Amino acid sequence: MISRPLLWFIAIALLGILFVSWWAGAYPARVAVINQNAAVRDLVLLVGGRRIEIGEMRAGESRIVRIPSGEPLEVRFTGSRPRVWRSPETIPPGASVVLYLAPDDRVMMRDRIGAR
């Protein structure tokens, strides 16, 4: 027979594991936006129903923002023309993502700076 204190220990341990799993799944991701383009304006990140306004970025500027994880990312900006880009997959919890705004209004997503 299992003793009552051992049952309490197992129950508290399971609750602790569930809490840590929930907390890790809700941990925000970090996105670095690096503008390699000429000036862009009206830069907005949309993720999980949340709108993150960055505004205008000059050539060579960069910004780092935290976004909710577990959702696909959408980037809207105006360079030489209005542009919308969507990430091909969801952003995992705690991930660091680098978005390069290229000269031809392309957006390139990398998991670290300098990756090809």
pTM, whole model, 2 decimals? 0.77
What pLDDT was estimated at residue 114? 60
Could you report how far apart the first and last alpha carbons of the chain are, in Å? 59
Cα–Cα dist 76/44, whole Å:
5
What pLDDT was estimated at residue 115? 60
What pLDDT was estimated at residue 16? 93
What pLDDT was estimated at residue 20? 87
User: DSSP state, 104?
Assistant: T
Burial 68-84 (b: 16+ CB within 10 A, else e): bbebebebebebeeebe
**Domain 28-110 CATH class label:** mainly beta
The stretches in the chain having pLDDT less than 70 are 112-116
Give which of 88, 105, 99, 93 is closest to 45, Cα–Cα. 99
What pLDDT was estimated at residue 23? 82
